[in-house]
Amino acid sequence: MIVEDEDQNERLDSFFKKDVEIDDYADLYSLRKNEMLFDAFSAIFKGSPASVIARIFVLKGLASDDVCTSWSPSQIRALFNIMDDDKLDRIIGRLRKSPILNYDSNDGLYRLSDIGRMAVSALNSINAFSQEDDTGLGFMFGQIAAIDSMGVEQSPEALQHLLFRLNSLYEDFENSIVSGSERRIKESERKLKSMQKFVSKGSEIIARLTKEGAGNVEAYRLAQKIGRAQSRLSNSSATIHRSLNKIERQRIDLGESGISVSEISNWLIERDIESIASLIDGKIAHLVKPYFILSDLLMDSAEDELLREHISTEKQGLPEPVDAVEGFTDYEIEDALKIIEEWMPVLQAIDSPVKMSEIIRADSFGKSSYLMSLLSIVGTGGQGLPDNIVGDLARLSLDVMPSTESEEVDHIEVSEMSVVRIAPKEMDK
């Protein structure tokens, strides 16, 4: 594929429709204020991978020089004496045309600009974390920790990126467990171990943000979601271990060799096609004749495929849309927990049999439905549930006795309710 080189003088508004005023969008405005920073990164990263590595090598060398803060051309050549002079001059010339490297014509010296040092610092952080953490969490938690330590208001964008990555990792772990592949599950286990120290360090910051507030409502809400996502990831560890133990119990060894099928599979995966082909080169004199592929079986398979293709091409309309029941809404976890906390004293005060209509009196149909659904948890014992408000609900000493009867009620948005009786366990016997 050939990609046309971009015009360096191209205007930003040319990327948008003609009726769009780019100054009306806050995200674009904040990006335009940092055009000089983007010019610096463009000077570093435009070109071949080899040229990019060479430029970063020169920048890191200049930034790490603890003796000089400015350099003459001869000093730069001495500092990078292992590099080709012409290529080095070309790199310095390119950086000089960008906001990264300043040149003072009066004294003939080069100096790294503030933007240049910021770019080098950012690249060093990314490079350091990428060598130790392939999940990306280390760098993301590092950003949040740096902002927290400086006392600056947390950026919702940084928290949003972290939340997305945590959810993405959880999905990857779940998919690896469902696949039953030992290689994928072990890879998930390795990732989980590598990210533990970053998650534990980040948990302290996230806990402080959710307790003390993160500076604005959006950041506070994201911090709470990040805390829950971290808990889900931690719970994945036990599931991964159980899956690996199950695979270990079902391991198949080849005779008395002590070599398992999974070990051979992993060994083959690590080889390329050429090396695998060379293993059988000259070892097989005759091609294997697949007698197990019979004509009638092929006919059945072909018929299934043709039928599947025929079915998939038929037009299948969607059912007519149904209007949602007015007043019914899904609750965020925070709202749901608040509803349970407000309802808990009502349940704890039950000392004689009562009907559901007496203890469910909400201000909307949605809330009434939610409270009714919670009755399925009440009195179940709470085995396996965490030590929280939901577990307390399950551990209440109450019996819930449904029936097929219904009764008319005069509640807000509710005209009829099922007759369900709730009684203390010692009284319903």
Residues 96-148 pLDDT 10s: 998 899 988 888 899 999 888 888 888 887 777 666 556 677 777 777 777 77
Looking at beta carbons, which pairs linking 258-266 to residues 24 or more positions away fall under 8 Å? 262/182, 262/183, 265/182, 265/183, 266/183
Q: Residue 329's pLDDT is what?
A: 47
| More confident of the two residues 354 and 320 | 354
What does the block give as tokens for 70? 């400015």
Q: How distant, in Å, are the alpha carbons of 215, 334, 341, 400, 425 from that of 389?
A: 28, 12, 7, 18, 20
Q: Are 59 and 118 in contact (CB under 8 A)?
A: no
**CATH number of this structure's domain 15-121:** 1.10.10.10
What does the block give as tokens for 427? 């009284």
Length of the chain: 429
Residues 370-384 pLDDT 10s: 888 888 888 877 666
Statement: residue 50 has pLDDT above 90: yes
Please report, rounded to a whole number, the percentage of residues in the chain having pLDDT higher than 70. 78
| Matching residue, tokens 């969607």 | 318
Residues 207-238 pLDDT 10s: 777 766 545 677 778 888 888 888 888 788 88
Residues 157-186 pLDDT 10s: 778 888 888 888 888 888 888 888 888 888
**Mean confidence (pLDDT) of the chain:** 78
Q: Which region among 72-76, 329-333, 381-385 has the lowest average model confidence (pLDDT)?
A: 329-333
Residues 280-317 pLDDT 10s: 777 766 666 655 555 565 666 666 666 665 555 555 56
Q: Which region among 282-291, 327-336, 389-398 has the lowest average model confidence (pLDDT)?
A: 327-336
- Mean pLDDT of the 322-330 span: 50
Amino acid in position 385: L
Q: Residue 362's pLDDT is what?
A: 79
Which residue from 190, 171, 168, 172 is spatially nearest to 244, judged by alpha carbons?
190
Alpha carbons 198 and 176: distance in angstroms, whole number: 22
Statement: residue 3 has pLDDT above 50: no
Looking at beta carbons, which pairs linking 47-51 to residues 24 or more positions away fall under 8 Å? 51/91
**How sure is the predictor about 58, in pLDDT bands with cuts at 50, 70 and 90?**
very high
Q: Residue 320's pLDDT is what?
A: 67
**How sure is the predictor about 83, in pLDDT bands with cuts at 50, 70 and 90?**
very high
- pTM for the model stands at 0.47
